[in-house]
Amino acid sequence: MHQVRQPAVAGAFYPAQGPALSDGVGALLVRARAVGSAADGVPKAIVVPHAGYIYSGATAALAYARLSAARASIRRVVLLGPVHRVPVRGLALPGVDAFVTPLGQVEVDQGSVAAISRLRQVVVSPAAHAMEHSLEVQLPFLQAVLDDFKLLPLAVGDATPAEVAEVLDVLWGGPETLIVISSDLSHFLPYPVARTVDGETVQNILDLRGSLTHEQACGGTPLNGLLLAARRHHLRPQLLGACNSGDSAGDKGRVVGYASFAFMPEPVDVH
| Angstrom distances, CA of residue 134 to CA of 8, 64, 172, 200, 253 | 11, 16, 21, 23, 24
- pLDDT > 90 in the chain, percent: 93
In this prediction, residues 241-267 reach a mean pLDDT of 93
Q: Do residues 59 and 136 touch, judged by C-beta distance below 8 A? A: no
**Is pLDDT of 179 > 80?**
yes
**Predicted pLDDT at 12:** 98
**Average predicted confidence (pLDDT) for the chain:** 95
**Is pLDDT of 250 > 80?**
no
Label residue 143 left, alpha or beta by phi (over 0 means left) and psi (-120 to 50 means alpha): alpha
**Is pLDDT of 56 > 60?**
yes
In this prediction, residues 192-214 reach a mean pLDDT of 96
The residues spanned by each domain of the chain are 4-265
Sign of the CA dihedral 157, 215, 169, 104? positive
Q: Nearest 5°: CA angle at 36, between 142 and 23?
A: 45
Lowest mean pLDDT among 28-32, 34-38, 88-92: 34-38
Phi and psi of 132, rounded to 5°?
A: -75, 125
CATH class in words for 4-265: alpha beta
**Is pLDDT of 205 > 80?**
yes
Closest by CA to 65, choosing from 19, 18, 15, 31, is 31
Alpha-carbon distance of 88 to 258, in angstroms, equals 25
Paired strand residues for 242? 259
| Angstrom distances, CA of residue 149 to CA of 59, 205, 212, 240 | 23, 28, 30, 24
pLDDT band at 39 (very low <50, low <70, confident <90, very high): low
pLDDT tens per residue across span 118-153: 999 999 999 999 999 999 999 999 999 999 999 999
pLDDT tens per residue across span 76-123: 999 999 999 999 999 999 999 999 999 999 999 999 999 999 999 999
**Predicted pLDDT at 268:** 62
**Is pLDDT of 37 > 70?**
no
Alpha-carbon distance of 187 to 63, in angstroms, equals 21
Paired strand residues for 123? 92
Closest by CA to 226, choosing from 94, 98, 39, 46, is 46
